[in-house]
Amino acid sequence: MKLHCIRCELAYGSDQIRYTCDCGGLLEIRREVRGHRAVFDERRANSRKPIDQSGVWRFREGVLNVDEAQIVTHPEGATRLYERDGIFFKHEGENPTGSFKDRGMTVAVTQAVRLGARAIACASTGNTSASLAAYAAQAGLRAVVFVPSGKISGGKLAQTLAYGATCLQVRGDFDAAMHLVREACDQLNIYLVNSINPFRIEGQKTIVWELLQDLEWDAPDWIVLPAGNLGNTSAFGKALREAYEAGWINRMPRLAAIQAAGANPFFLGYRESFEARHRVTAETVASAIRIGDPVSWDRAVASIRDTNGIVEQVTDEELMDAKRTIDRMGIGCEPASATTLAGVRKLRAAGTIGANERIVCVLTGNVLKDTDAILRNVPQEQIVEIDPRIEDVASALR
């Protein structure tokens, strides 16, 4: 197992602390992925061991070579796959801290402990920070998070503080916080666990592997996901390449990465066949993906190319409308996650996704992650203040 630069192919030992190549390229872990579907299925069905119940470590042969005793697991993953109106929804908001980030964090924190780190850090729009804080608490590490001041949801901030992290509220946007945390980690001997860290990607691959397992390894036509900092887009492409090479699936699903129109640099790049890297000043109600300069750009481009994938954008109105639909199904998700259904609607209307194609939307965060986004949009007749009198009940329900 080595860290390979995806730009110049230089390789580094996997126990070095580094996140990019000397040439500036992003690093990726390469190994032959072994492991058998039957073993994964057996662990899931019959074992009560935490590492077998974990939807990450159940696939450990493809995640990280590590002593079982070193693994820091909640356990995470093992999320539900819902089918509603002919679309599958893989609900990553059912992870222990309420978002998909736990899948990457269990691996990055396990690696942090192996490397002897004392402190870990990230920049975050709120979910990575909550996940980092929870896993750091479990592993006994110091947690430091950099968030754009005033720009993450109250619930995510509170959750991060509750697990005990030190929170640096950066006056600036996510991209400024991201820049700063990289510099801080280099200078202050702190281990960086943003998705630029290739070990995060190894954990997040298991979203795809587990949904394939949920579907009894019968690959869907499309996997649809929100795209912000592009860690997940990178992970999904790698997961599909490896699953295909290992013979776990016999055809490649296509990826559809969906951005908010106000935070759409990857969409702008896609429209020009990724000839140039784009940066924007991001603004959208979906604060989780309010990101203008995503760090995993090159790895994500490879994912789109390798899966014959596409990138789409949706407006805030379209994504909030899709969120209302998902919420009213009794499932619920945070705004960023709803870009998936909004994207499916748009791509079906354009004929890009066919009426009979099998689709899995990945819901990345729990409905409780952003309650302000809900309360701002409640129809007046749904919430009525009354005096404690039966007449008021009757008139409110009329």
- Print the binding letters for residues 67-106 with ligand F0G: x by CB under 6 A, - otherwise: --------------------------------x-x-----
Radius of gyration of the chain from its Cα atoms, rounded to whole angstroms = 21
Say if residue 180 is exposed, middle or buried (CB neighbours under 10 Å; 0-12, 13-18, 19+).
middle
Rounded to a whole number of angstroms, the minimum distance from the CB of residue 66 to ligand F0G is 23
Rounded to a whole number of angstroms, the minimum distance from the CB of residue 225 to ligand F0G is 7
DSSP structure class, residue 82: E
Q: In what order do the strands lie in the sheet with 166-170?
A: 166-170, 142-148, 119-123, 191-192
How many positions of this chain bind ligand F0G (CB under 6 A)?
Answer: 23
Part in contact with ligand F0G (CB under 6 A); list of ranges 31-39, 270-278, 314-322, 332-340: 332-340
77 φ, ψ to 5°? 75, -150
Pairing of the two strands 166-170 and 81-84? unpaired
Residue 165 near residue 121 (C-beta atoms within 8 A): no
**Binding to ligand F0G (CB under 6 A): which residues in 352-371?**
364-365
CB of 111 or CB of 153, closer to ligand F0G: 153
Q: Which residue has the tokens 């109250």?
A: 154
Tokens of 93: 């908001």
**Binding to ligand F0G (CB under 6 A): which residues in 6-45?**
none
**259 is a site residue for ligand F0G (CB under 6 A):** no
**155 is a site residue for ligand F0G (CB under 6 A):** no
Find all residues with CB under 8 Å of 374, minimum gap 6, and list them: 327, 367
Part in contact with ligand F0G (CB under 6 A); list of ranges 63-71, 75-83, 126-134, 164-172: 126-134
Per-residue burial over 11-31, b = 16 or more CB atoms within 10 Å of its CB, e = otherwise? eeebeeeebbbeeebbbbbbe
Which of 28, 76, 202, 334 is close enough to bind ligand F0G by CB under 6 A? Answer: 334
Rounded to a whole number of angstroms, the minimum distance from the CB of residue 389 to ligand F0G is 42
Part in contact with ligand F0G (CB under 6 A); list of ranges 48-56, 209-217, 224-232, 387-395: 224-232
Write a three-state SS string for 89-136. EEEHHHCCCCECHHHHHHHHHHHHHHCCCCEEEEECCCHHHHHHHHHH
Which of 230, 249, 255, 311 is close enough to bind ligand F0G by CB under 6 A? Answer: 230
**Among 315, 335, 313, which Cα is nearest to 324's?**
335
Part in contact with ligand F0G (CB under 6 A); list of ranges 5-13, 55-63, 119-127, 386-394: 119-127
For 234, the 3-state DSSP assignment is helix
Rounded to a whole number of angstroms, the minimum distance from the CB of residue 224 to ligand F0G is 12
**160 is a site residue for ligand F0G (CB under 6 A):** no
Part in contact with ligand F0G (CB under 6 A); list of ranges 4-12, 221-229, 274-282, 321-329: 221-229
**Among 75, 25, 333, 26, which Cα is nearest to 195's?**
26
Which of 95, 110, 127, 313 is close enough to bind ligand F0G by CB under 6 A? Answer: 127
**Binding to ligand F0G (CB under 6 A): which residues in 177-216?**
195
Rounded to a whole number of angstroms, the minimum distance from the CB of residue 145 to ligand F0G is 9
Which of 75, 155, 231, 262 is close enough to bind ligand F0G by CB under 6 A? Answer: 231
Q: Which residue has the tokens 């750091």?
A: 136
- Alpha carbon distance 49, 167 (integer Å): 34
Which of 228, 269, 309, 332 is close enough to bind ligand F0G by CB under 6 A? Answer: 228
Q: How many CA atoms lie within 13 A of 310 on its CB side?
A: 14
Say if residue 68 is exposed, middle or buried (CB neighbours under 10 Å; 0-12, 13-18, 19+).
exposed
Which of 55, 203, 226, 343 is close enough to bind ligand F0G by CB under 6 A? Answer: 226
Which of 53, 54, 229, 303 is close enough to bind ligand F0G by CB under 6 A? Answer: 229
**144 is a site residue for ligand F0G (CB under 6 A):** no
**124 is a site residue for ligand F0G (CB under 6 A):** yes
Contacting positions for ligand F0G (CB under 6 A): 99, 101, 124-128, 195, 226-233, 288-289, 334, 336-337, 364-365
